[in-house]
Amino acid sequence: MTRHIVARTSDIPLGGNKVFGVEGRDIVIFHVNGEFFALLNRCPHEGAPLAKAACVARLTSPEPGVYQRSRVGELLRCPWHGWEFDMRNGQSWFDPQRVKVRSYPVAVESGQVLAEGLEKGPYVAETFPVHVEDNYVIVET
Ligand code: FES
């Protein structure tokens, strides 16, 4: 897998999303409840952009007249025809084994750790200490 540093964590607002072009694909990254999720920005039904999807909760009913919300904001409802998908793994709600959106692993790492992991060549120039304090979102394709 190839790792792509796509954004600072602060570039994607909590409850929002942002689309990035990665290796010719549009990948949408959602920021929900402090976590980041990456999906192909294309509904498997007829291709709607999932960046425009509503982020909804799971609603269950243990008995008539009683409703419980969970996983608030982690389910996507496609803007065109309402198919629903799990943001964590791309599975559809109605047929999770056969219909899914492509999902990608996401990591958050500090800029300092990323800078330390850069490969260094055989020649060494005079250097000065630099500190990178932001965190970055990394998607693996
Ligand atoms: S395009 Fe997404 S449900 Fe139809």
Q: What span, in angstroms and rounded, lies between the C-alpha atoms of 15 and 12?
A: 8
Which pTM does this prediction carry?
0.84
The residue whose CB lies within 8 Å of the most ligand 1 atoms, and thus the one to mutate among 28, 39, 43, is 43
C-alpha distance from residue 121 to each of 39, 118, 125 (Å): 35, 10, 10
The residue whose CB lies within 8 Å of the most ligand 1 atoms, and thus the one to mutate among 28, 46, 50, is 46
Residues with CB under 6 Å of ligand 1 are: 43, 45-48, 78, 80-81, 83
Q: Which residue has the higher pLDDT, 2 or 129?
A: 2
- pLDDT score recorded for residue 37: 97
Beta strands in 9-53 (DSSP E): 17-22, 25-32, 35-40
**Strand 103-104 with 35-40, pairing:** antiparallel
Q: What span, in angstroms and rounded, lies between the C-alpha atoms of 8 and 137?
A: 6
> Ligand 1: which residue has its CA nearest to atom 1?
46
Q: What span, in angstroms and rounded, lies between the C-alpha atoms of 60 and 20?
A: 34
Domains, in order of start, for the chain: 3-140 (2.102.10.10)
Instruction: With cut-offs at 50, 70 and 90, classify the pLDDT of residue 127.
Output: confident
- pLDDT score recorded for residue 104: 97
Instruction: With cut-offs at 50, 70 and 90, classify the pLDDT of residue 64.
Output: very high
Q: Please, where are the H alpha helices in the chain? A: 111-116
